[in-house]
Structure 1
Amino acid sequence: MDFFSAHEMDGERCKALQKLEEATVIAWERESASVHSPGPVEDPEVLYRQMLNPTHYDATNKILKATAFADTSDKGGSVNRANLQSYEEAVQAATVRVAQINERKPGGAKVDLWEIIELRCQDVRDISTLAQPDLPARRAFAVFDTALEDAPSHADICQVAPGSATGRSARSKLLDLANAYLRTREHAA
């Protein structure tokens, strides 16, 4: 899709989506956004999200940081599709990524993999903004198949609802989804 090709490397893909009509953006979820695409991300799919320490996780307070999904507002929050990548492959990819990050900043604070969380695509897509007197409620996030040549399972969660306060509120709801998953895992362990 031309839009995604044009915004592939600019780090502003989601900000550009926020300027478009909601119906257009939502329709694009049903199309492949990459030449490497295995197909659009379907609602029932499970998405893996790498959570790194200290990037996404506050080890002192043992919680995800409020900024854990900040990238969904601009470049897109990277996830991998569980039907195209096993959990073990997700951990392996995250381990490689962590090593690359640490190599790029020798002497800096080290990053490590804290957790791979699972989000159901439909749950992400169901998050909406609150209706305001002059604005109706609208979808807060869209999930796009942004497969990469070396990572065909890659997808992006993009905040598509415009506005700083609206975005913070929407990302807080996404954080709540992630925390609910973590609580479920804790009880299962």
Structure 2
Amino acid sequence: MPEPTQDTAALWFGREAESLSAAEQSVLAAARQRAIISRDVEQGFAEQLSFGQRLADQVAVFGGSWSFIIVFAVILAAWVLLNTLLLVRPFDAYPFIFLNLILSMLAAIQAPVIMMSQNRQAARDRADAAHDYEINLKAEIEIMALHDKLDHLRTEQIEALLTKQQEQIALLTRLLQAAPPRA
């Protein structure tokens, strides 16, 4: 990646090139080269995930769904019905101490797994935000460059128009001087 020149850094950022962050230097270099900087941030994250991380994400997706709530409600209702009404000798009689133990263990395992998934999602969101910043910064630089080009073209057109007008005035002056006086 070529180094941004002092002129372009001062022009677009108002600072010296050495004081620019790595992202700003990268964006400035990409803008100077007219290179595309957009990329699929999600793909980079997905390729780095281990089996455990993918499993944690799936547990978090299922654990935060209506399917989980419905399945869990059905299992709890079946447990209670089985141990209160259907079995002569219930394996977990009221107050359902074994059920409480299972629910506590499930919560103790599910909470950290969901937190791991949320932490990964937060890291993914930070990477997305950093990438969005780079894209927005490059777009802003490109827009400012277009404004400069338009200003330059407008200045050239005005100068050409003034030159043309001066030539026309000079021609009219010569014609008036060369014309015979009217009587």
Shorter chain as denominator, the TM-score bin is: under 0.3
More helix by share: 2
What TM-score do you get using the length of structure 2 for normalisation?
0.20
Name which one, 1 or 2, has greater alpha-carbon Rg: 2
What TM-score do you get using the length of structure 1 for normalisation?
0.20
